[in-house]
Amino acid sequence: MKYQDIKFLGVDHVRIGKLGMNESTLDMNLVFNNPNRMGATINNARGQAWIQDIYIGDFLLSEDVKIPASSNFSVPVSLKLNLKDLVKNSLNLITRDSIALRVDGSAQLSKGGIIKNFPLRYSGRQSSQQLLGQLRF
């Protein structure tokens, strides 16, 4: 199976999932593009996330996701937050025009019993206003 790696495009629909002193979560969709002419299922996605080189936590795929052929799609993930470091640097983050976002992890694609592991890596900038504008409580 000649299957090209899917491409990470960004983040959308950011929501506060759980807010607490011991554990907080941020639910969001990771947006990807499938350049292949056939669909598949993505599962077992997990990894870490950083904002401005500040580790903010680990993410885990909320559910298996069917990937349509040759199109963009969203993957719902839950990010367990490292709230202490995030709060400590929050003023610095919200006063910037754009924020450096980095994701490093891995996932599996499955199609008809064939499984392919692939990296989930992204490093880029997103508008601070756009990210904050998506935040829902």
The predicted-structure confidence for 76-129, as pLDDT tens digits, reads as follows: 888 887 667 666 666 666 677 888 888 899 888 888 888 888 888 888 887 776
Question: What pTM does this model have?
Answer: 0.72
Question: Is there a contact between 130 and 99 (Cβ–Cβ < 8 Å)?
Answer: no
The one-letter amino acid at 52: Q
CA distance 22 to 33: 35
pLDDT band, very low/low/confident/very high, at 132 (cuts 50, 70, 90): low
d(CA 103, CA 19): 22
CATH entry 2.60.40.10 includes domain 7-134? yes
